[in-house]
Chain A
Amino acid sequence: QKEVEQDPGPLSVPEGAIVSLNCTYSNSAFQYFMWYRQYSRKGPELLMYTYSSGNKEDGRFTAQVDKSSKYISLFIRDSQPSDSATYLCAMSPQGAQKLVFGQGTRLTINP
C-alpha cells in the first residue's frame, strides 16, 4: 500500500464548477501538506502549503487537512479552463526533507 493515495482520474467538469480533489495517507507522522499543479511536460508548481490540521484559503483555492481521518482536500471555486492540469498532493513529517507525493489527479475544465 502506498503511503499517499490519490485518485488519478481523469476528472472532467464544466467551467465555473466547484472542483474537489482529495488524498488519503497512512503515515500519521505527516505534518506538512502541499498541493502542486503540474501542466503537461512542465515541473510542479506549488499552490498551497498547510501545516497540521485546518483550512487555508488563497483566492479561488481552499486546502483542508483532517489529520484524524488522514484526509486532505483541495477545492477550486469558479473553475477556469486554465485550471486544467494534473494536481499533485504532497506531504512530509516534521523535520524530514523529502516530500511523498500522490499519483496526481488529471483535471480538465471544459469551456
Chain B
Amino acid sequence: DTGVSQNPRHKITKRGQNVTFRCDPISEHNRLYWYRQTLGQGPEFLTYFQNEAQLEKSRLLSDRFSAERPKGSFSTLEIQRTEQGDSAMYLCASSIRAANTEAFFGQGTRLTVV
C-alpha cells in the first residue's frame, strides 16, 4: 500500500491520559499535515511540516498538543492530559514539493475520550 498510513485507527482513552498517534506519509512526499475533524464538520488545519521542520501551527494546537517529524519521514501527534473536547478524527495528509496543495489523506485516527 503506497498511501498515507495512520495508526492506530481507533483509540479510546480516559480523560487526563496522554495519547500518541503516528502517520507514515507517501514515501516521496516531503510535506506533511495534521488536521482534526469533528462530527459533521470539515477538517481543520492543525500543523504542517516540510521535511523535519514544523513551519506552521494553528491556534487550535494548544500547549497540550505536540507534533514531531524527527527524520522527515513519519510524524507523531501527541495529546497530553486529554479532555472530552479532544474527541475527534485526527487526519494526516502529505504532498510533494511541486504540488503543495494537492494533499492526499490517510484514513485517520478516531479518538474517543471518556
Q: Which residues of B contact A4 (CB under 8 A)?
A: 42
Q: Which residues of B contact A104 (CB under 8 A)?
A: 40-42
Given A46-B104, A92-B101, A99-B101, decide whether A41 and B42 contact each other with a Cβ distance below 8 A.
no
Q: Which residues of B contact A42 (CB under 8 A)?
A: 107-108
Is there an interface contact between B43 and A101, defined as CB atoms closer than 8 Å? yes
B89 to chain A, nearest CB (A): 8
A10 to chain B, nearest CB (A): 11
Number of A residues whose C-beta is below 8 Å from B? 25
Is there an interface contact between A97 and B107, defined as CB atoms closer than 8 Å? no
- Of the residues A32, A46, A97, A103, contact of B40 by C-beta under 8 Å: A103
Contact of B17 with A by CB under 8 A: no
Given A41-B110, A103-B40, decide whether A98 and B56 contact each other with a Cβ distance below 8 A.
yes
Q: Which residues of B contact A34 (CB under 8 A)?
A: 101-102
Is there an interface contact between B106 and A43, defined as CB atoms closer than 8 Å? yes
Is there an interface contact between B108 and A43, defined as CB atoms closer than 8 Å? yes
B39 to chain A, nearest CB (A): 11
A residues in contact (CB < 8 Å) with B: 4, 6, 8, 32, 34, 36, 41-46, 49, 88, 90, 92, 96-104
B residues in contact (CB < 8 Å) with A: 4, 6, 31, 33, 35, 40-45, 48, 50, 55-56, 58, 91, 100-108, 110
